[in-house]
Amino acid sequence: MTQVLIEFVRALRASNINVSTAESLDAAATVDVIGFKDRGLLKESLSLVLAKSSEDKQRFSDCFDRYFFATDMKGIDVLGSDDPSADDSLDVGNIVTTTADVESASTSTLTSMVTNENRAELQIAVANAAREAGVANIRLFTQRGMYMRRILEILGIEALEDDIGNSDSVDRLKLSDLRVQLIAEVRDHVERQLLLYTANTWPDLREEILQRVPLSAVEVRDFKFMQGLVHKLAKRLVALHYRRKKIARRGHLDVRQTIRRNIEYDGLMFDTVWKRKKIDRPKVVAVCDVSGSVSNAARFLLLFLYSVTEVLPKVRAFAFSNQIAEITDLFQSASAEDAISDALHKYGWGSTDYGHALSDLEATVLDDIDHRTTVLIMGDGRSNYADPGVSHLRRIHERARRVLWLNPEPRAFWNSGDSEMRRLGSACDRVDSCRSIQDLERLVSEIMRTAV
């Protein structure tokens, strides 16, 4: 596939057009047949291959016009084609660019190019330098200066500046003006690339940032966006690790049963019998600390918990500060915002008492915990110098498949002050720092993959 086509597919994806690998290969095959010479035919052909819906076709048309304006269709066959038989002459409006032109551009010095004032030659050189600089990877407007500097260095701006310094006053003034024009040309090219490759990337960029930001630092104004992000995360995890209850999976050949079943066929193995392994969907008991010490993170931990209960039926959810309460029914009957606000209002912002909370949890769920149950506790382990309830947690651990603790604080803060993470962690199978949505995704993914 040509480099130009690869970059064009990247631009389409930046414009929210989903292009699969198979469709990219189909597009490459299309280009091999029709080439780049006829712009109208190229646009129509690639539209049939890459744009599916009417909305996609409109986005494709806009993206195609922006992309091939940015490249100006110059040097495409030379820069990107893998076909040695490709036509080396491209008719671009009133300009005909040939292989010889590109070779001239590549062998000419920057000074001679700007002095000759051959705009087509200069644009080819800028496009070549931009590809070498990787400008297609631009993500932020703050990167414009960095890519401009890279392109100018590849073009040989230092040699041009040396020529300016060594010229007489007349030539120096002329070359200085041409240098300004060169910088403007490079700036325009980078601006077009920025618009092309970041057309609709702000939501994705914001999502990427919020995935990494510590939960305690996320602002309430981002709650709506986080709600969609966390719900999507939960659905993706369940889709990835979903197991139907009691679905039989074929295992090893059961030789004894096979022989017994085929006695009537004189021992010929017409009907095989396989040992089957039963897979149970895991049960999860999730407990979230909503006390004042984790108030900022609690809202988003509850949001994640709400989303998981929506897509995974066997989740019992609890919230506590100094007393524990089951909020499973609340999550099932109210919207995310209402359920979380209600849970925080009723059970949050209080003084933490892990001993009392874990005692209540043991009394409530111990009889329902079995070898398929994962107990997930989200909290900072700070018990205000009171009994942290390790004995209650140990009895829960004896019944459960595993007990996992996710702490929204950095590890450096554990076991300092009233933190009881060392003692509480001794009654858990795993203790992790969970400070962001990205950490939640990683840890819960591991839980759901291994808790069957």
Distance CA(32)–CA(49), nearest Å, equals 13
Residue 62 is predicted with a pLDDT of 84
Give the per-residue pLDDT at 99: 34
Lowest mean pLDDT segment, chosen from 169-183, 257-271, 285-299, 430-444: 257-271
- Among positive and negative, which fits the CA dihedral 295, 300, 304, 309? positive
- Token pair for 238: 């369940």
Contact in structure between 202 and 183 (CB atoms under 8 Å):
no
Instruction: Note whether 47 and 154 are same-domain residues.
Output: yes
Instruction: Categorize the per-residue pLDDT at 450 as very low, low, confident or very high, splitting at 50, 70 and 90.
Output: low
Give the pLDDT band of residue 55 (cuts 50, 70, 90): confident
Looking up residue 331, the CATH number of its domain turns out to be 3.40.50.410
- Same domain membership, residue 299 and residue 166: no
Please indicate, yes or no, if residue 348 is contained in any of the structural domains: yes
Residue 179, pLDDT above cutoff 70: yes
pLDDT tens string 242-293: 544 444 455 677 788 888 887 777 767 778 777 765 555 568 898 999 887 7
Full domain range(s) for residue 170? 3-197
Q: What is the per-residue pLDDT for 280? A: 54
In this prediction, residues 27-35 reach a mean pLDDT of: 88
Say how many domains are in the chain.
Answer: 2
Do 418 and 412 meet the contact criterion of CB atoms below 8 Å apart?
A: no
pLDDT of residue 391: 95
- Mean pLDDT lowest among 271-275, 320-324, 410-414: 271-275
For residue 346, tell me if it sits in a domain: yes
Global confidence as pTM: 0.55
Q: Report pLDDT digits (tens) over 343-399.
A: 888 888 778 889 999 999 999 999 989 888 889 898 999 988 999 999 999 999 999
Domain membership of residue 359 (yes or no) is: yes
Q: What is the DSSP letter of 220?
A: G
Is residue 348 within 8 A of residue 291, CB to CB? The reply is: yes
Half-sphere exposure of 403 (CA within 13 A, CB side): 21
What is the pLDDT, as a whole number, of residue 221? 67
| Domain C-terminal end among 197, 226, 256 | 197
Q: Are residues 193 and 316 in the same domain?
A: no
> 35 falls in which pLDDT band (50, 70, 90)?
confident
Which of residues 148, 163, 197 is at a domain's end?
197
- Per-residue pLDDT tens digits for 88-127: 333 332 233 333 343 333 334 777 777 776 677 777 788 8
In this predicted structure, what is the pLDDT of residue 359?
93
Q: Is pLDDT at 205 greater than 50 in this prediction? A: yes
